[in-house]
Structure 1
Amino acid sequence: MTLPELPLSTPSLLFPAISLLLLAHTNRFLGLASVVRGLHANWQATQEPMLLAQIQSLRKRIRIIKHMQSMGVLSMIFCVVSMTLLFFSHQPGGQITFGISLLLMLASLVLALVEIQMSGTALDLHLQDVKCRDE
């Protein structure tokens, strides 16, 4: 079975998507880093166990974001390799590396979903003691 020819322009379509994905991941990372710094300073002053638990949760989320960023960067690298191979008329290699690029981008998105779920759960726990009038 032969695959249809992959034009050079197809992998180039991923560049804006991957760039925006990396920007979003970086913004999440910077936001969490700011929260961690504030919680750490607060914990040093109070030694409150709840703050330590929050910091540990944030540490897990930061690790996930680092993996998200790594997958995004690897996706971009494989996309560039794919375009290079296609430019030099090496269709099989270009198709394989483009497929790997897509899988890495998918992995980055799955990790983003996991991190978003963790973020929502953490916020719910943090607001557990607040009673809303609507409930």
Structure 2
Amino acid sequence: MTTIDLTTPALLFPAISLLLLAYTNRFLVLAQLIRQLHERCRDDLEDVTVRQIANLRKRIGLIKAMQAYGVSSFILCSLAMFFIFLHQTFIAQMCFGLSLFVLVVSLGYSLYEIAISTDAIKIELEDLEKQRRDV
């Protein structure tokens, strides 16, 4: 049976912290984009804007899930360290393993959100190409 010490879950702390920071930055950029879109399109909603709104709504939900799973991973990692401190090795291993799994789920959501964000760029490019053809 594999044993873990206090440093094993501690190795994830910087990685999870950086991930949460990156997720927060993605959220802030998205929030700023939504505010700009709101100001620009108060009265007239073009087809491209409606498509972007749907994309942005989906991305907000994904970022929320990414953050929730990232924070859950951080909590589970902290619990693993706590149980190691209490010499509850089995529970610590379970918490650490679950922490890793939840972190992978968070990264999966992140990958999906990145794919959707590239779709948003494609929508903008299609609109630019359409405008160029119409001129």
If the length of structure 2 is used for normalisation, what is the TM-score? 0.90
Aligned to 2:71: 73
Q: What is the distance in 1 between the residues matched to 2:57 and 2:127?
A: 23
CA root-mean-square deviation: 1.2
Percent identity of the aligned residues?
45
If the length of structure 1 is used for normalisation, what is the TM-score? 0.90
Q: What is the distance in 2 between the residues matched to 1:32 and 1:13?
A: 30
Aligned to 2:15: 17
Deviation at 1:40, TM superposition (A): 1.6
For the 8 Å contact 2:10–2:77, the answer to whether it is kept is yes
1:1-135 mapped onto 2 (5 Å cutoff): 3-130=1-128
For the 8 Å contact 2:48–2:124, the answer to whether it is kept is no
In structure 1, the gaps of 5 or more residues are none
- Provide runs of 4+ in structure 1 moved above 4 Å: none
Deviation at 1:38, TM superposition (A): 1.0
For the 8 Å contact 1:40–1:55, the answer to whether it is kept is no
For 1:86-126, what per-residue CA distance to the aligned partner results, in whole angstroms no more than 9, with x for missing partners?
11110100000000100111011110000001111210121
In structure 2, the gaps of 5 or more residues are 130-135
Deviation at 1:51, TM superposition (A): 1.2
Partner-residue secondary structure (3-state), 1:7: coil
